Copies of this chain bind each other. A is one copy, B any other.
Amino acid sequence: MPAHALFRDEDLRFDVDVDPLVQSLRQVLPAEGLIVHEQGRRAYECDGLAPYKQLPRLVVIPETIEQVQVVLKLCHESGVPVVTRGAGTSLSGGSLPHPQGVLLAMGKFNRISEIDAQRRIARVDPGVRNLAITEAAAPYGLYYAPDPSSQIACSIGGNVGENAGGVHCLKYGLTVHNVLAVKVVTIEGEITTIGSDCLDSPGLDLLALMHGSEGMLGVIVEVTVKLLPNPLTKQVLMASFADVGSGGHAVAGLIGRGIIPGGLEMMDGAAIQAAEDFVQAGYDTDAAAILICELDGSEAEVADQMKAVDECLREHGATRIQVAADHQEKARFWAGRKAAFPAVGRISPDYYCMDGTIPRNQLAYVLQRISEISAAEALETVNVFHAGDGNLHPLILFDGNQPGQLEAAERAGSAILQLCVEVGGTVTGEHGVGMEKINEMCVQFASAEIEQFHGIKAAFDEKGLLNPGKAIPTLNRCAEFGHLHVHNGKLPHPELERF
């Protein structure tokens, strides 16, 4: 595991004998539902943040809600930690196993139990893939809006846990805005239903609290999502800019006018070139930046917005605007964006994908500073991101086989996230904190807020058994991380003085 973020001594306080637990689990699980031997556990040692690897103590694969209840109750009684895993696509190590704990794999929860076209809701198991919901809703002319890039593989339970976004979340909201209710099993093994099929629920907003809670508050066993009608029509245009700053200002200009496109993505010169070489999307390789803008709605609405977008982009210095002529061209414009990450994989042995969010008016400044930060580590970055909502995904290129390069990439990544906080942004937009950004949480939050997080965590999970060491740093960790940075004289953020 890289040096960047690790389990700390205080996260490793669960050194109990698991033999009695194994005996009890055998009695409630089918034979294939419990993996004890190392070879079998090896398959679960990492998630989408592959450089972070950790063998779990046990792997449990339940098939029913009752089994989840019993497993959690037994772990609670034994004092054994539990890390829940959906499809294992987390980019922040959210489902990285705990060395002393159970890895609870929810892959068998994969049924869609209800599609109600009139009420426009779907009730699904947590292991159902994001895209599978849209596929099941398609015969009714409906779809599920949040569409993370991993939507073909990632599961809805993990989407809730990380409050996943996607290209269309600018207009249609994050996961939290598209989920009506969840069923959750607590660490004591009790089932609670949170949210309802209605507008709003009384009492404290536990539904929002579950979103982005990264498996720390309970285990999700059912999700009820909103479905939206397919837009009547879509149009896609692509605008070229001579510099990244103008593209950034154009984004702020569009939103400032009240135009909320279905998608508004930006790629810098390096990303354009990599994508064009890979999939020949018809991108303008002379541009320093392109914006891809999708408008959706009725024919009249889209035509109307197209005029306003065209005008606004030209005002902000667009050097060329291409409107997709037909369905094939729309798909081609998007293909480049969607293939950008693998395209970058072709030009660099490894890359590290960041996920900071900034106020839109800081785009030009932050992109400039990102290139300086990477240059200081002798690394290059490629930028492909959700411009409309200020959610950056700088890809830091490195070669993991060259000694020191992974660490250099991690240093650059940490500096970029601290820069996001410095300009009024946050350390994650949609990938979650997990293990990856746990140190940077100390930059984002003061100790009063971190203590509040711990207070809420304790209200759900007094023994701290659910995903320990992730998402919310201990104050000890912050003290050490803060100290380290002050020591090196690199601290950009005066708030850290408080730790």
- Chain A interface residues toward B at CB < 8 A: 117-120, 163, 165, 174, 176-177, 186, 190-194, 196-209, 211-213, 228-229, 252, 255-258, 297-301, 303-305, 357-361, 389-391, 424-430, 432-433, 437, 441, 444-446, 448-449, 452-453, 455-460, 471-472
Chain B neighbourhood of A177, CB < 8 A: 177
Tell me whether B429 and A200 are in contact (CB under 8 A).
yes
Q: How many protomers of this protein does the assembly include?
A: 2
Chain B neighbourhood of A202, CB < 8 A: 212, 426-428, 432-433, 437, 441, 444, 471
Chain B neighbourhood of A427, CB < 8 A: 202
> CA of A205 to CA of B452 in the docked complex: distance in angstroms?
11
Tell me whether B258 and A192 are in contact (CB under 8 A).
no
Question: How near does chain B come to A282, taking the closest CB pair, in angstroms?
Answer: 29
Chain B neighbourhood of A297, CB < 8 A: 301
Chain B neighbourhood of A207, CB < 8 A: 208
Instruction: Given A198-B358, A204-B212, A211-B205, decide whether A228 and B258 contact each other with a Cβ distance below 8 A.
Output: yes
Tell me whether B119 and A448 are in contact (CB under 8 A).
no
> CA of A213 to CA of B452 in the docked complex: distance in angstroms?
15
> CA of A358 to CA of B198 in the docked complex: distance in angstroms?
6
Contact of A117 among B118, B176, B193, B256 (CB under 8 A): B256
Instruction: Given A202-B428, A298-B305, A437-B202, decide whether A458 and B456 contact each other with a Cβ distance below 8 A.
Output: no
Contact of A304 among B298, B391, B425 (CB under 8 A): B298
Task: Kindly report which residue of chain B lies nearest to residue A227, judged by CB atoms.
Answer: B258
Task: Kindly report which residue of chain B lies nearest to residue A428, judged by CB atoms.
Answer: B202
Tell me whether B205 and A176 are in contact (CB under 8 A).
yes
Contact of A198 among B117, B213, B425, B432 (CB under 8 A): B425
